[in-house]
Amino acid sequence: MNRYEIFLKVLEKGSFTKAAEDLRYTQSAVSQMIQSIESELATTLIVRSRKGISLTSDGEQFLPYIKKVNYAHRELIEKSKEMRSLQRGNIRIGTFSSISSNWLPVLIKDFKKMYPSVHFQLQQGEYTSIVQYIKEGSVDFGFVNPDAVTDLETIPLKHDEMLAVLPHDHSLAHQDSVTVEELSNEPFILLDEGELSEPLEIFKAQQLQPNIQFRVHDDYTIMAMVENSLGISILPELVLNRINYQLVAKKISPPIIRTIGMAFKDKKTLPITSRYFIDFVIEQFHHKN
């Protein structure tokens, strides 16, 4: 406890003795603290009488400043506690493959430059399961499409176009773009994202029914299947940026756009490390946009 807080406690209790008892200090220690402040300010702040204690005229003028110094000291201590927490914190994130393979490695690398002792735990899933992870508390927050979320706070980060993925020798591969109707006639490999599927929403809006042959949770498995001519698919552009598969990606008409964001229950109750990382991620995308 700092001496300014002790000074304010003496005023609150109206007695050196009562303040000392409340703080579990000796009365002599409390008196010495007050004297040290008076010595620093070269004046008398408190006078004692039979009625108790009271502020001098100088004490009245210094009181608002002493309160400010005490408040600033408390903030300093709280900040110190936060920083110590950041040195040993654990950040638990729900994520899906296109995020964990493209965004997160760079974000984690840059964050650990500032807080090298922070640990990360990634839990893979799709929109529906990630929302469940957040609600049950097995992760602190997760990356999702905000449209797939209910009863959670969400922050949109970026729009990501989805592209048609075809074998390199497919009959549609020579076209600049493909239509949803053309895709509906092909054997389709669906990326299973849980209850919300952006491609299925577009097919539904066009009153079309895709010829779903496979439902797969992993983008890279789908690309390997497309490469082997097991069907065509629709995948996010984000995951198609760096691939070694022999396939072709084409724009779709009308375009299929998904929103990528973060979701959590209540940011104020999250561990300090997770709050810092969320703010860090938001700042990174704010600068890019």
Instruction: Please tell me the predicted confidence (pLDDT) of residue 197.
Output: 86
Cα 135 to Cα 139: distance, rounded to the nearest angstrom: 8
Percentage with pLDDT > 70 across the chain: 98
Q: Closest by alpha carbon to 264, among 158, 104, 154, 130?
A: 154
99-124 confidence digits (pLDDT tens): 998 899 999 999 999 888 899 999 99
Give the pTM.
0.68
Cα 43 to Cα 39: distance, rounded to the nearest angstrom: 7
Mean pLDDT on 173-202: 90
Cα 177 to Cα 163: distance, rounded to the nearest angstrom: 9
Where is average pLDDT lowest: 47-56, 88-97, 152-161? Answer: 47-56
Mean pLDDT on 14-18: 88
pLDDT tier, 288 (very low <50, low <70, confident <90, very high otherwise): low
Q: Confirm if 275 and 86 have CB atoms less than 8 A apart.
A: no
Q: Please name each of the domains of the chain with its CATH number.
A: 3-86 (1.10.10.10), 90-157+260-288 (3.40.190.10), 158-259 (3.40.190.10)
Mean pLDDT on 135-144: 95
Instruction: Please tell me the predicted confidence (pLDDT) of residue 192.
Output: 85
Q: Closest by alpha carbon to 233, among 212, 207, 205, 253?
A: 212
